[in-house]
Amino acid sequence: MEETLILVDENDNETGSAQKLLIHQQGLRHRAFSIFIFDGQGRLLLQQRALGKYHSQGLWTNTCCGHPRLGEQIHTAAQRRLFEEMGLTCPLTKVASLLYREQVSNDLIEHEFDHLFVGTSDTQPVANPEEALAWAWLPLSDIPGRIAAEPDKYTIWFRKIFDTYTLTGLRAWQKIALAAPSTSHLGEPTEFKKIGG
């Protein structure tokens, strides 16, 4: 059965729901999340999207992405999806959000209010092959150069997050992730505001 996603306005207030494929065909704004997992050495876990994905197949991106289900809290959805895609469980903290609308492959459009979460794990992922073709831990400082050299190997939202928040911003997220308690996340996540201009 096709997934139903939550439609939102520019402030992330719910406005309705629709089927996932229709949303991406029509470029309707919907609620989403992106997760960035760091290890104790400060490396970022990237995944290469599975070839069976309906868009952006085979491209490298952040650790995990997804959408909350109807009635599901965004933090709960992020924890669920991280385990479903990468076999990982760790505390997650919301650090920012990003509203963007971009053309992706297969004539589809991503128009997301994207909640950005960070966490840390020194556990090797067990990737679901239906979701991820491969994964890699990369030093954060290496990523902007790799994106600049071969932008077409990376998803549009991953590139947009690095453009918007910059390496300085992601280093600050890394510090937040490393400082987070190792117990289960309780209460509402705190939001980290963008540094600089």
Q: How far is CA 126 from CA 27, 87, 88, 131, in A?
A: 32, 5, 7, 11
**Cβ atoms within 10 Å, residue 190:** 10
Tokens 């790799």, residue?
146
Per the structure block, which two tokens stand in for 16? 């309705």
Binding-site positions read 24, 30, 67, 85, 110, 112
Residue 112 annotated among the catalytic residues of the structure = yes
Binding-site positions for Mn(2+) read 24, 30, 67, 110, 112
Look at the alpha carbons of 174, 113, 166, 154 in this order and tell me if their dihedral is positive or negative.
Answer: positive
Residue 90 annotated among the catalytic residues of the structure = no
Q: How far is CA 65 from CA 22, 48, 61, 179, in A?
A: 19, 12, 9, 23
Return d(Cα 3, Cα 178) in angstroms, integer. Answer: 33
- Let me know: does 6 contact 67? Beta carbons within 8 Å: yes
Are β-strands 64-66 and 60-61 bridged in parallel, bridged antiparallel, or unpaired?
unpaired
Binding-site positions for Mg(2+) read 85
- Let me know: does 193 contact 116? Beta carbons within 8 Å: no
Annotated active-site residue in 112, 130, 150, 191: 112
Annotated active-site residue in 65, 131, 150, 188: 65
| Active site residues per annotation | 65, 112
